[in-house]
A and B are shown apart, each in its own frame.
Chain A
Amino acid sequence: MPAVSKGDGMRGLAVFISDIRNCKSKEAEIKRINKELANIRSKFKGDKALDGYSKKKYVCKLLFIFLLGHDIDFGHMEAVNLLSSNKYTEKQIGYLFISVLVNSNSELIRLINNAIKNDLASRNPTFMCLALHCIANVGSREMGEAFAADIPRILVAGDSMDSVKQSAALCLLRLYKASPDLVPMGEWTARVVHLLNDQHMGVVTAAVSLITCLCKKNPDDFKTCISLAVSRLSRIVSSASTDLQDYTYYFVPAPWLSVKLLRLLQCYPPPEDAAVKGRLVECLETVLNKAQEPPKSKKVQHSNAKNAILFETISLIIHYDSEPNLLVRACNQLGQFLQHRETNLRYLALESMCTLASSEFSHEAVKTHIDTVINALKTERDVSVRQRAADLLYAMCDRSNAKQIVSEMLRYLETADYAIREEIVLKVAILAEKYAVDYSWYVDTILNLIRIAGDYVSEEVWYRVLQIVTNRDDVQGYAAKTVFEALQAPACHENMVKVGGYILGEFGNLIAGDPRSSPPVQFSLLHSKFHLCSVATRALLLSTYIKFINLFPETKATIQGVLRAGSQLRNADVELQQRAVEYLTLSSVASTDVLATVLEEMPPFPERESSILAKLKRKKGPGAASALDDGRRDASSNDINGGVEPTPSTVSTPSPSADLLGLRAAPPPAAAPAPAGAGNLLVDVSSEGPAAQPGLGPTPEEAFLSELEPPAPESPMALLADPAPAADPGSEDIGSPIPEADELMNKFVCKNNGVLFENQLLQIGVKSEFRQNLGRMYLFYGNKTSVQFQSFTPTVVHPGDLQTQLAVQTKRVAAQVDGGAQVQQVLNIECLRDFLTPPLLSVRFRYGGAPQSLTLKLPVTINKFFQPTEMAAQDFFQRWKQLSLPQQEAQKIFKATHPMDAEVTKAKLLGFGSALLDNVDPNPENFVGAGIIQTKALQVGCLLRLEPNAQAQMYRLTLRTSKEPVSRHLCELLAQQF
């Protein structure tokens, strides 16, 4: 039993909760709950009217049951009844139930909205607040539609109580975040800014959150808030710790409000007005000064509140990035925190310093803390703190300390938590590449990575090392020697075999002079690993072998022997078998010249953004790799999606049927002399000395536009084909609809829900509703496989003039769809004027590396905007006559393709959208319908008549509308349905 029961205790509720707590097992609990549910149901259904108290008690019990995690499917009506009770707690429980168990039943929503309306108009502040809390808690679009226009009025009304203003501000914020289009901007916005001056601190606290959100969306309209915010902040910061009474928290004046004001200022660049700026800088300095003062209390709440303001101040200083003095002071302050005994402060200092490291003013200051940070990486006991330390090391890395940082990170990798290994690997790989002064160090580092954490070295990392070695001839010999040595280890990671196989295949000749690494030795070393490797690696090794035949004719007989072995030629894996067969034939049929041409050394890879960097960005989300992108932040934000654009299937999925030997007929593109392209440029640039090192990174012109495309060295196509990136399919240029698109769309002419498309990979379901000229469509994309879809991008395209006829607003969906998962996309549709062609839906994604694309017709046809119209026979005939111009009528006589069933026909016509008019046509077999097509620009009245002829199994369909193309179009659409 509870110790305290304030207000009114509900004894029955307390007893019930006790019962549940005393249940010994889950089964017992469920049994007790079911008993209670049955009891409540019978009370609600009983003929005896329940008094308010009982209703409240039962609704509260239902709520408790729901919050325990059980489904509740009744009681909504009783809760809604409580809303209109004049007893406060009954109303309050009603609202609580409604906001926790949001229901989409439209009748209920109407009743709820009514109750809220009444309370908002009641002028009783407690009731108004309850209603506002409910709107804010539900925050749905429906709530927005009903109230978004009223709340601004309440917010700025002179006679609103403070508490009402506070609730109204945050309620409006919630609605604005959910559906900004519903909140009308207007005269109130100017007045809302002045709430920053309000005498009531609570009102200011609530209003700042709303203003910040509005500023983010329309910075220019709210500029006036800067000076108001600065003066408010200044007053708080300079006030004595007791001035603000109850708004002082553990001797810190108004910490929440201060933090919010500092956040608001981060929506803008530094103030232009010198006086305002001066005052602000003074504030920031005061905060930094206060941090040095001895604490006024030993309580952690005091230091937390104080430091919350300090960290927000530092964020603002970093955001401005223009005051070197403040930046360095901030950095020193954070440096103190790096060794603080509070773990929380160390964590935040590491995090905050990460952003400081990217400022040119404070980068050097951050670097002075390198030893402390390395120490943190080694000694922190909390993995999330170690993670921050690794991030900071990554951010503070530059040429001067790269070797130290990379070696520390490599050392950390040996004991790092599994969860973050892959990320550390990526970071090491990026730093090693970016700051490589000599490329032997780079090659060593990557091979070390593979040795220490081979399992976490993703494809991108080892692809990248191959790209770089291929493009830099000064490191090729060293790379060949090093991988050869690495492969000598008795147990080496499969990734090492891949890198070794590829490099020796390309550059093994560079070390062949040494008898210790003569061609036969190289071959037998590689082949000793062959049987332990996966299919993909073995395939790569087979390609290495054919390259060996070209490089070292003396190995030809041995290798042909290997290729000829039954285990290769009759391998169960089709890829291996094909390679063995084709390489064997190539080596025996082709002349040395042809062989040398076909197996020419790989030309340099075109320079583009490091595939590893793209991968890290994908892993961490936008902004995460920004420290590396110095000066290119804007460009890189576009790139995150670009980096995973589908690549043409020829590169990533070699078709098993492609006949490689066919290439003999035409010289393979790769055989062409390497163009003086990016690769050569790279060599030229790097010969200019260390200053040119950034040249290794992407060149600005192409890097951010071009797509990521791993060289895929294991693929035979890539070996022989042009490694240059194939044409980007481009996002605008979508394919033509699949052949069955029309048929699929026609299924939806008379219905709104169903499965639009399905194949072995993907199912697309549709649910839609239309009202007047508006519609909402939900598309459900189901991944039918067990593999994640990547780069999943559905787009809606308006061919031709459709843009001006139909507005379709789509929400983005996640780029990944897990195996077996379903994602939903919402489309808001507005019919602007009559239209004939449907919009196209293009769906692209990558499945197991292979790009898939699909274009369908979206089932949005003009009849969806039908509004049925009832009319008497007389009216019908009169209008029919009015539409008697020949071009207003469209008629079609056609054979029935489905059984002629009157009920089915009726349902179809109703689904089509028109009203069915009885007793109009003298022949009862015939169907007559009427409706109005609603578009934003105009309305089109439509009359239709369908005459079945059962004997001939034929129909005659006649449409008359006020617009000629509409008549014909409707006639065609409808005729396909019978």
Chain B
Amino acid sequence: MSQQGYVATPPYSQPQPGIGLSPPHYGHYGGPSHAASSPGMIKPAGPLGAAPPGGMLPQGHPPPGPHQFGQNGAHAQGPPPQRFPGPPPVSSAAPSYPPYSPSTQSSYPSPGSSASMAQLGSQLGAMHINSYGSGAAPPSQGPPGPASAASVQGPPQPPQPSILQPGSQVLPPPPTALNGPGASPLPPPTHRPDGLPGPAPPNAQYQPAPLPGQTLGPGYPAQQANYGPPVAGAQLSYPGGFPGGPAQMAGPPQPQKKLDPDSVPSPIQVIESDRASRVGQVYATNARGQIPPLVTTDCVIQDQGNASPRYIRCTTYCLPCTSEMAKQAQIPLAAIITPFATIPSNETPLYLVNHGEAGPVRCNRCKAYMCPFMQFIEGGRRYQCGFCSCVNDVPPFYFQHLDHIGRRLDHYEKPELSLGSYEYVATLDYCRKNKPPNPPAFIFMIDVSYSNIKNGLVKLICEELKTVLERLPKEDQEETSAVRVGFITYNKVLHFFNVKSNLAQPQMMVVTDVSEVFVPLLDGFLVNYQESQSVIHNLLDQIPEMFADSNENETVFAPVIQAGMEALKAADCPGKLFIFHSSLPTAEAPGKLKNRDDKKLINTDKEKILFQPQANVYESLAKDCVAHGCCVTLFLCPSQYVDVASLGLVPLLTGGTLYKYNGFQMHLDSQQFLNDLRNDIEKKIGFDAIMRVRTSTGFRATDFFGGIYMNNTTDAEMAAIDCDKAVTVEFKHDDKLSEDTGALIQCAVLYTTVSGQRRLRIHNLALNCSSQLADLYKSCETDALVNFFAKSAFKAVLHQPLKVIREILVNQTAHMLACYRKNCASPSAASQLILPDSMKVLPVYMNSLLKNCVLLGRPEISTDERAYQRQLVMTMGVADSQLFFYPQLLPIHTLDVKSTTLPAAIRCSETRLSEEGIFLLANGLNMFLWLGVSSPPELIQGIFNVPSLAHVNTDMTLLPEVGNPYSQTLRMIMGIIQQKRPYSMKF
């Protein structure tokens, strides 16, 4: 294990004068020396595209040890370090790069050296390990600046362990640079090869406003930072950034040297290497505690007894045996469960088990469902529960003989015996009131206040509904959808519509009693779309006209949800509300909100208030909604502050989705809006769900994060759960775990299908247990860790000051790594950072997380946007959170128009942008196309159909359809990226 550790020089933060401020530091690209570490990306020329990612992976080409970085550059490139001699500046771009040696042993003196350990230990001891979270600023830390220091983006890293020589210190960027990203006027050409992240406003990338295109001019200032910053995960930098930071990195203070950005482990490389090794392979889940491929890797997963990582992904696949060990390592034990994850068509869909009247076979004691972990004994007459060890009788109908190895003869015939994931048909006992559920209903609730009418949104929705309703979700084998639909419009009052099929024209019923909303009609409100099609179309035609001359500005909100919920309650079915809302609900009604946006609270202890809902109404409303299986999906098109923190609460707790389109403008946002709407209506979804996570003895689920409502401590209730929603579950020890039996997790979700069938979806997963810390570190999954950290931090945002949260995150990360160094890694110089292989990129990712606008308030980021992102992350699965925190940056100019594969991603750092290039940046919410100031005109012509950069309309949100290969390929790429994401990205 230790060999695989990274040892990096402690980034001693040496405040360098003028960092980020002095133009000279920024070398211009274009100099011959610029062979950026990933030249392919920087060089505009097409030919370079020929150097595919693979080419950059210097596997097996360990460069000469002593050379700094030789290997980084990969054979293709020039030696990076030497490139920057000129601008030695401040920014860390120290000419002398730490030698990057492929093998720890060879490259540097005993990594596990007692000296370094002692040194580290002493440093850590004081502030971290013992007083974890105490917040004591390490002596070495100067600036509390959060920003990552050197955005060290190395070229693809070799997979081998690499070590940064302690001697060559990388200097963490001076705090000043970090803190004042916005403030530092970067000289236009920001491409500093050394990758000093510079003053990139970390959060800026979320601001939709600065489209890349706009900044193309020569004056192109800091905006490019939009892309870079989150990425600029200078893992090494946080010591600088955070008080109490990772002291382990703070080796001997050698201020002059800086960390070479390229020497930092590269996520891209990690991703690519995993991809290279596993893509196209079949990953079979047959072994306990097997570590799955990364989320970014496409491969076929075959269920052989454990749930696919698409359903469950753990932070570690090997649990520590004892709670002491867990405490020592401080690695969170958690599983990110996406019970309804979409399965690619080349994998087997879930089998459905139907035991008829008898219902699922369950353990008598712990009620775990029959699964591969049940051990059949006594010739098959009994079985021992793998979770609680209780011995149960096999029900007569279920009896089967055992074969010579003690397996039932029908082992492979029954999905519940051989597979990790499967479904049961639930019996009436599992239904509300012991009655079979009715098929769910979708209710569309449209805000018809003045602004929505005026900006055309109402018309757009009504038009779209006419077509999209044709594609309501249905069971695969059914011809038409069983989902019924209903319509409500509202401003200050609510309008229900009777669209019964036998009516000549729809009937509108106005409910003005918003203080106590009720459902005015029963029959004819929820209808089958096919049957009532003509009436519905008639209605949808009329709605925009009906309110065309409305000048009602006030809206209500809580009563709207209430109405939808009451309607579903009256119809006795679960369902989903699609609410299209756009303003702060100021009308006199329950849930009335005040504008309380107060930028002054940012960075104070009261900042948390901004994330808390304003009125209690929403929480109790959410509770009612969950109790009645009413899921709320909210499409917000605000033109100003709408208090997302309050409005979003119900969608969050009911398992709905929140979509937000700032300052909705028809020509800019309609496409994104419509895509989202279509996806949301069509996607796979289960209603009225209860999720329970059972574990084998010794540990248990203690905390749940996600779009759920918890009535008690064990059951996560969800009004609905769709394919994009993930629940993160944290585990804690109860007792000792045994290495032999391992640890078992069974996640059971009871839900109602879109056709109104009650089902149980079971996911099983077996994990290893070990008493060796090394095993634990070996089995960690960084992406899942980040997901967990993000969710727990974002949850804590409601209750704790952000500063404390950031400190905790930093400290915990530091602690995890320190623990590794202390216990697993071979001795090394104290100044070296040793990273376990499985956590190579954790620091980078953590840095990105810390720079997320939720955790780092800035006045130019709207409170709503922060609340929105907070909410999004709370329900994200691992793949989404990975992309969200570390966006994909694709060099478009290297595009091979003949190939259909994506160009290799590059490190997401501002420094990787080049003037000659065109880059596409995507984080799951937004896509930006960044055009370098001297991007090749033929590309511009090809993509935009305009002669030059100056002609490009920076407002556009859709690429023109131009019939040439560049355009087609680019659009295809965007399509591919989009395909897998829950949110349609705004371009």
> Do these two chains really belong together in a complex?
no
